[in-house]
Amino acid sequence: MLGKSLKINKMIVNWSWREICFGQLWPVVVALTLIIASVVALSTLALRVEKVMTDHGRSLLAADLVFKSANPISTTLLEKTQQQGLIVSSQSQFQTMAFSEQKMQLVSVKSVESNYPLRGELNLTDQNQQLKHHVSPGELWLSARLFTLLDVEIGESIAIGDAQLNISGLIKDEPELIYNPFNSIPNLFIHHSDLDKTGAVQVGSRVNHRLFVNGSESALVMLQKETVLQAGESWVDQNKQGSTGGLIEKAKQYLSLTILMVILMAAVTLILTCLHYVRDRSETVSMLKSMGASRAWLRLWLSTQVFMMFVVAFVIGSFLGLILEFLLRLPLADILPEQLPSVGAQPFIFALVVALCIGLPALLIPLTRLLDAPAINVIQQQKINYTKKIWWLLLLPFSALLLFYGANKLVWMLLIGLLLLFVFLATLSYGLLKILAKLKWGPAFSLALSRINRSPRNSMMQLAALSGSLMLVALIWLIKSDLLGDWQQTIAPDVPNVFAVNISPEQRQGYLEQVDRLALPRSDAFAIIRGRITEVNEQSVSEHLGSKEELPHILQREINFTWAKELPVYNQLIEGQWTGEKTVSVEQKVAHDLDIKLGDSLTFEVNSQHFSATVNSLRSVQWQSMKPNFIFIFSEDVIIDLPATWMLSFRVEQAQGELVNQLARLYPTVSLLDFRSMGNKIQALLRQISWSLTGLASLGVVSGVLLIFTLLRLSLGERKREITLYRTLGASKKRINQTLWAEYGLLAISAGVVAAIAAEIILFSLMKWGFQLPTQLHPSMWLILPLLAVLIVLLSLSSVIKQLLKPLR
């Protein structure tokens, strides 16, 4: 029996092979191959880029994971890290006064162990310009500013608390990025073993303790799970690291979205090609049944075909995917490290799972319906009663989606949005075509419209597939552009990189004039008044927030207030107007966290003085723009009389370093915060991410366009019989040509318009609620999408037209 079935299998295998190579199955295999190739290429690249981005993020963090605490690191935690085989390095950070022979200065001291940093680069240069990367016992390294502020040179000694230490050299680069111009006090490094000598750490003194941890992903997750956080303790990883962490998170979300959209496009093609195959094969199945084929035999026949299609698509798709990934990597060669992080079998497994989740329902549902084709249809067409049992297969892709993207708000927004939009837009475009058909047109257009309206289901399917793919292509490109546009503000060549703070009111005018004389592009000067928010509508903020478990961070510290006549041009007004007296404008995220609305009365405290202001507007602020930004901006009457210092930011080119020193000498009491090297680091990171995203988006667009091309060719293939019949009946080439152009041109233009509306709506939602970035209209897309659609139609039509115009033999 076994031998018998094997023999039969061999025959069926041969047959299936011929169907795949020469029959109707090749478009299905092409679609399946495309899914696998795109998933392999995109996920391999995404994994690599993600690893590079994670490594970069971690090097800015100085470790894979950081434990922050207000108390010394507990021995329990240290034991746990030991048990998990993790590498650790401790750091204590505190502020104290440093004394040189002539001067004193408040400094931020970082006492680190010899293995610091665990990630990223610490560059220290000594007297002989020798580069060192770690701090050794007895050493003291100062940031460039401290040399001016304390008026010292390498080799001299300064006192830090009780300890007298010799200056070993200059800190050129350090890994930990702290971007806060207001709290940045110049820092220095000492070795952990010298910490006790300073006597600065006493019971009750304010010290921040950090434990840097490196190790495997699973061990890090385990460590975080097993540690119960006490008050004042927190974990920081590269995802939670302020502005750069946010950027990386957004880039990762974009990668997920792109992969999902490419898969969606391929799935549409797969379903359509498979439906096409089933329509074509129904008669064959009836014939086989009439000759006595049992259901079991037909099942074996179909499942062999499906199995073989998967094998062929997997082998070719994986290979193509790797080639694609290689090509995509070429322009990124400068950005990606020479030693590429290995990705293992993950992309292939992922591609197979995706292909199975989409392919099994897409293939098996229509193919199983083939089994219901009655034998009698071979001589007499009868209506087919399809069994519906097989629809459960649809659970596969949906469960997979839930599993993969369960918590990803963006993905669900996209999917639900897509569904709703399509129902709406399909109805709209169908109605539009119906109206068009009622108007008077030339013969070609009339024929085309009647053809579209004659088989509404088919036309709608085509329209949906075409506009869906076009919309996804537009989305992939525009989300990338919008994201990059937002980041561009950080990458732009004129972004400020030096902040001057602590300018006294008397110094203000002179300082501004000096900066202008040096021709440094600068921001306006802003008054800085430090204070707290205490009440909302005469109710303490905690009472106002009610049962919120954790109070927002902003309530736990003093923040900077300022006043202004006009709001900064780089802040976007979201709600309300910047008018009125005794008013305040609030940053929208803080307003949301503190449940503050327009018209609320807020009470603030500055130096034990209380005052109130009414909220007149909400603003969106881009903190990563490196421009002076504030949570609360008051109208000038509110706080103009309170004692304030002033601040501004300006741009200094790498070669203009001497100007910074010049300013520092002229105004020794003004603190200059030089973010040039940090700015460069952020810019490098952003450039890297931007390139990767552009590469991915291009791949997405190219595969989308290819899929649309395939769809159109399939659709034209289906029309072959009808067109050759017209031709046989004597229709001129010109007439057929015109009708085809009119039909597909109309389809392309309507699909382009539908896609543009849909893309604009989805993009708006994604930007506003998903990425939380400012939204904008994209007028150029309204033109480009229909044009792109017509162009693809032109290409696909001209590639098949000759074949279509041959008369029947």
Partner 1 sequence: MTKSVISNDSELSILKGISFTINAGESVAIMGTSGAGKSTLMGLLAGLDQPTSGSITLLNSTISEMDDEQRAKIRSESVGFVFQDFLLIPSLTALQNVTLPMLLRGNEDETSNNKKAKQLLQEVGLAGRETHLPTQLSGGEQQRVALARAFITQPKVLFADEPTGNLDQKTAAHIIELLFEMNKEQGTTLILVTHDANLAKRCQRTLIINDGQCQENPC
- Distance of closest approach, residue 292 Cβ to partner 1, in angstroms: 2
| Those residues with Cβ within 8 angstroms of residue 432's Cβ, 6 or more apart along the chain or in another chain | 750
- Binding residues for partner 1, per CB under 8 A? 3-4, 7-8, 11-12, 14-15, 18-19, 22-23, 283-284, 287-295, 297, 374-376, 378-380
| Choice between 307 and 392, CB closer to partner 1 | 307
Shortest CA distance to 111 belongs to which of 59, 163, 56, 54? 163
| Those residues with Cβ within 8 angstroms of residue 351's Cβ, 6 or more apart along the chain or in another chain | 35, 36, 39, 40, 43, 314, 317, 318, 321
| Choice between 159 and 293, CB closer to partner 1 | 293
| Choice between 217 and 280, CB closer to partner 1 | 280
Q: Write down the residue that tokens 């109605």 correspond to.
A: 431
| Choice between 14 and 234, CB closer to partner 1 | 14
Q: For residues 659 and 650, what is the distance between their CA atoms, to the nearest angstrom?
A: 12
| Choice between 285 and 354, CB closer to partner 1 | 285
| Choice between 85 and 292, CB closer to partner 1 | 292
- Distance of closest approach, residue 273 Cβ to partner 1, in angstroms: 16
221-227's contacts with Cβ under 8 Å and 24+ in sequence apart are 222/84, 223/65, 223/80, 223/81, 223/84, 223/86, 224/65, 226/80, 227/67, 227/77, 227/80
- Distance of closest approach, residue 288 Cβ to partner 1, in angstroms: 7
Q: How many CA atoms lie within 13 A of 395 on its CB side?
A: 5
| Choice between 378 and 432, CB closer to partner 1 | 378
Helix or strand holding residue 116 (H, E): none
Helices (H), 605-650: 636-639
- Distance of closest approach, residue 318 Cβ to partner 1, in angstroms: 26
- Distance of closest approach, residue 489 Cβ to partner 1, in angstroms: 59
| Choice between 289 and 778, CB closer to partner 1 | 289
Residue 768: DSSP 8-state: I
- Distance of closest approach, residue 16 Cβ to partner 1, in angstroms: 9
DSSP track, 377-413: GGTS--------GGGGGGHHHHHHHHHHHTT-HHHHH
| Those residues with Cβ within 8 angstroms of residue 64's Cβ, 6 or more apart along the chain or in another chain | 58, 118, 119, 213, 214, 215, 220, 237, 238
- Distance of closest approach, residue 296 Cβ to partner 1, in angstroms: 8
| Choice between 19 and 486, CB closer to partner 1 | 19
Q: Write down the residue that tokens 């994971």 correspond to.
A: 65
| Choice between 16 and 44, CB closer to partner 1 | 16
Cβ-based neighbour number of residue 402 at 10 Å: 12
Q: For residues 655 and 676, what is the distance between their CA atoms, to the nearest angstrom?
A: 11
- Distance of closest approach, residue 369 Cβ to partner 1, in angstroms: 16
Bridge partners of 387, per DSSP, are none
Q: How many CA atoms lie within 13 A of 473 on its CB side?
A: 29
| Choice between 216 and 284, CB closer to partner 1 | 284
| Choice between 5 and 540, CB closer to partner 1 | 5
Q: For residues 628 and 404, what is the distance between their CA atoms, to the nearest angstrom?
A: 40
- Distance of closest approach, residue 4 Cβ to partner 1, in angstroms: 5
- Distance of closest approach, residue 718 Cβ to partner 1, in angstroms: 16
What is residue 640's three-state secondary structure? coil
Q: How many CA atoms lie within 13 A of 336 on its CB side?
A: 23
- Distance of closest approach, residue 10 Cβ to partner 1, in angstroms: 8
| Choice between 17 and 405, CB closer to partner 1 | 17
DSSP track, 449-501: HHHHHHSHHHHHHHHHHHHHHHHHHHHHHHHHHHHHHHHHHHHSTT---EEEE
- Distance of closest approach, residue 2 Cβ to partner 1, in angstroms: 11
Q: For residues 379 and 377, what is the distance between their CA atoms, to the nearest angstrom?
A: 5
Bridge partners of 672, per DSSP, are 500
Enter the tokens of residue 113.
């162990």
What is residue 286's three-state secondary structure? helix
| Choice between 23 and 245, CB closer to partner 1 | 23
| Choice between 295 and 592, CB closer to partner 1 | 295
- Distance of closest approach, residue 359 Cβ to partner 1, in angstroms: 21
Q: For residues 13 and 309, what is the distance between their CA atoms, to the nearest angstrom?
A: 11
First to last CA, the chain: 46
| Choice between 56 and 289, CB closer to partner 1 | 289
- Distance of closest approach, residue 14 Cβ to partner 1, in angstroms: 8
- Distance of closest approach, residue 216 Cβ to partner 1, in angstroms: 52
Helix or strand holding residue 273 (H, E): helix 242-290
- Distance of closest approach, residue 18 Cβ to partner 1, in angstroms: 4
Q: Write down the residue that tokens 């039509």 correspond to.
A: 797
How long a stretch of residues is the chain? 809
